[in-house]
Structure 1
């Protein structure tokens, strides 16, 4: 009986600690959800398998409980541009490259954009330093929250 309680505790603890924000990967769907919910879109450009600052930002910001709580104020859209072929489908990679040409011409990773429901850029923040200071990203969320 004791071991059953222990196993139950481990399962509950792992489920609650694994909480993450819900990210879309389809731009058109994100725009539809944004129009329906009247929430701004956060478009995040990442190189999930090669971008060191993107990996740090994921750990320091995207998985931060404060961000996860605030994430419900936005439609989250991840645009991954990985080097490896097994991370996303070739069709998704093509769509993401097209979005990169339009929204991230400079090719800076990570880049976070705040867009309205029509896909118009309202705010932008790029890069993430080795200082690992997320305050600029949280200030960005405050600005982005005002977009309708």
Structure 2
């Protein structure tokens, strides 16, 4: 019997953050995971299509902090609440792009956006928050505690 039919998109949050946006090679080997099943990578982890066996192995792996279902391939939300509520003030770390381009793409009013380096901070509607988390240029999203993240 094989567990291949039970593929699920899973966010794997790593114990140690890595700004190289790579899946640790030892985890790839231990999960017997190939690149074709990696759907999204970021500095706090990755989303992949995992079998039941791979999910069980990842859940016990010393490099993994936690697993979360991620059927929408959203940028991870790293706040303490599992499901962020909007409207609210959020900060997003962008990767390899100008945060202004991301703000424009999700329809933010420029007067409502603060950009500091690779960080975008804004008050978002529910639709804007979802669009932000869907944008592949966004590494992760969190609650904005202050206007300038760095």
The alignment's TM-score, normalised by the length of structure 2, stands at 0.28
The alignment's TM-score, normalised by the length of structure 1, stands at 0.28
Which one scores higher on RCO, CA 8 angstroms, separation ≥ 6? 1
Structure 1 or 2: more strand by fraction: 2
